[in-house]
Amino acid sequence: MSALYAAGSPYTWPGLLAALVWLIHLLLHQEATESVVTFETQWHKQAAEKKLEARKGDLVDKKAEKTVIQADIEELHNRIASQEINPADIDRMQKEKDFLDANTRPVVLKDQQLRKAAWDHELASTNKEKDLEILCGEYNERCLRFKPILADGQPLTGSELQITLQIESTVPKEILGTSVANGLKQEVYAYKAARQEKLDLLSRLVATIKKSEALHKASKEKWDLACAVVTNEREELEAKVVAKELAAKRTDKDAEKLTKQWEQRYKAEVESSSEQVATAKKQWIEVVDFILSAKEQITGLLQVLKSKTHVEAGRLKRDLPEFTAMIALQVCDAQATLSDQHTQTCYLKTSRGL
């Protein structure tokens, strides 16, 4: 730098030329550094384009996911429309039904057996009545053939021993009469007691059946309540499905809005970077042209100095510091401009990274 301050001395001219060459190399190095910045800007541009492509891919994936969700929602709608209760409720109902069937089946079977036995008994009673009428007829015919003697020794005629059946009567004595032997009366009475016992058992079974019907009615009310609960759950599920559909629509709108914002911001940053790069390139070209022209002028002055007189050399010596100072001022201005551009580029990088 001392050569620049003492540029009027001839012995400092080689150092001055070396300083100028050094300044030119410095500018070339600065230009190379700026080219690195331009490369980084281009790299950030490509990265932003890749990020935009990735976002577009994410948007396509989100749309595909939305289609899958809509298909699942439609399937849920179909499943809800095709069934009233869930499989767990059906299993519980089936188990309850099997339990009730297991409890009522023996009673029903026994009731059927008793009804069949009652019918068989009634049929047997009818047959017995017919047989009894036949036997009474035969008995009456035989009684007319002899005169029996009772235990008290009083003879009886055959007409007194005859039996007139009273089928409409409910008391055995009235049906058969008082003259029937004790064995026949006891048998009839035993038959009557057995029949009454079976009728009592049938009454108890009927009461059991009524109790089972009451339990079945209570169970039916319980399952009706469970069906109401399932219906409410179905309505809640439909409301949730509608809410999810609305949320999916809002997500699609937000994604489209965000994509548009990023595209606009990307275009603005690309335009701004292009303008800044063009401006910096233009300024550097002007600076390099000015330095090259100054170098040519200085070379011409040196050649003139070799051929001029001492007076003209002194005048050129006085003008040379001013010319050199002007070149240094131009270089400093160019460096300040490049420094400002570099600061602005760093700010754009920071804002883009945010």
**DSSP for 205-230, written as a single string:** HHHHHHHHHHHHHHHHHHHHHHHHHH
Q: Residues 322, 8: contact at Cβ < 8 Å?
A: no
Predicted local distance difference test score (pLDDT) of residue 150: 43
Model confidence band, residue 317 (pLDDT cutoffs 50, 70, 90): low
CA 145 to mean position of chain CA atoms: 103
Upper half-sphere CA count for residue 48 (Cβ side, 13 Å) = 21
Report, as an integer, the average pLDDT of 226-244. 87
Predicted local distance difference test score (pLDDT) of residue 273: 74
Poorest-pLDDT segment among 35-39, 106-110, 250-254, 262-266: 35-39
First to last CA, the chain: 43
Poorest-pLDDT segment among 2-16, 93-107, 268-282, 287-301: 2-16
Q: CA-CA distances (angstroms) from residue 185 to 58, 76, 170, 293?
A: 103, 78, 14, 159
Q: Two tokens at 3?
A: 């050569």
CA 305 to mean position of chain CA atoms: 92
Predicted local distance difference test score (pLDDT) of residue 11: 59
Of 197 and 143, more confident: 197
pLDDT in tens, 28-67: 777 766 665 566 677 777 777 887 887 888 888 888 888 8
Q: Residues 232, 60: contact at Cβ < 8 Å?
A: no
Report, as an integer, the average pLDDT of 312-321. 59
- Positive or negative torsion for Cα 62, 63, 69, 72: negative
Model confidence band, residue 152 (pLDDT cutoffs 50, 70, 90): very low
State yes or no: pLDDT of 340 exceeds 50: yes
Q: Mean pLDDT score of the chain, rounded to an integer?
A: 73
d(Cα 298, Cα 318) in Å, to the nearest integer? 14
Residue 291 CB: number of other CB atoms within 10 A?
18
d(Cα 176, Cα 70) in Å, to the nearest integer? 89
Q: What percent of the chain has pLDDT over 90?
A: 0
For residue 333, the SS3 value is helix
d(Cα 38, Cα 33) in Å, to the nearest integer? 9
Q: What percent of the chain has pLDDT over 70?
A: 62
